[in-house]
Amino acid sequence: MPRQNLQGGLGARERQIMDAVYRLGEASVAQVLALLADPPTYSAVRTMIRGLERKGFLQHRQAGTKYLYRPVRSRDAARRSALKHLLTTFFADSATDAVAAILHTSAARLSEPEIDRLQQLIDEARQKGK
């Protein structure tokens, strides 16, 4: 099986397909197609899914006459890998700079419970550092 490149490299439509498969857990091409906004043709989606399988993101099993696709790695593992890539690429491995950028773009939309949660995470990180 090819090695997964979770360090980026997916096009917008591939990311939409992966999101659909993650949401469904396991899906046929038709099920993925039904979840896509402004979907391309069935054969285009099938081709992209096969490409994602070749890249190591998806695997399939046969159910009757159709294939059902599922992610190779958990969504959480994919998130961690993507976040690591984001930190390395755009923030020179600085979690502080990444959080500052997130807060800069969304601070006005943060609710009090979200701010409290962020403070709790900071406090926990401070405790682990001691």
pLDDT in tens, 36-76: 999 999 999 999 999 999 999 999 999 999 999 999 998 88
Residues 80 and 52 in one domain: no
Largest CA distance in the chain: 58
* Domain annotation covers residue 23: yes
* Domain annotation covers residue 27: yes
C-alpha dist (Å) from residue 93 to 3, 84, 111: 24, 8, 27
| Alpha helical stretches, state H, 26-73 | 29-35, 42-54
The average pLDDT across 7-24 equals 86
* Domain annotation covers residue 66: yes
What residue numbers bound the domain in which 83 lies?
75-129
Please give the pLDDT value at position 18: 94
* Domain annotation covers residue 4: no
Alpha-carbon distance of 98 to 105, in angstroms, equals: 11
Task: Between 77 and 108, name the one with better pLDDT.
Answer: 77
What is this structure's pTM?
0.67
Please give the pLDDT value at position 130: 61
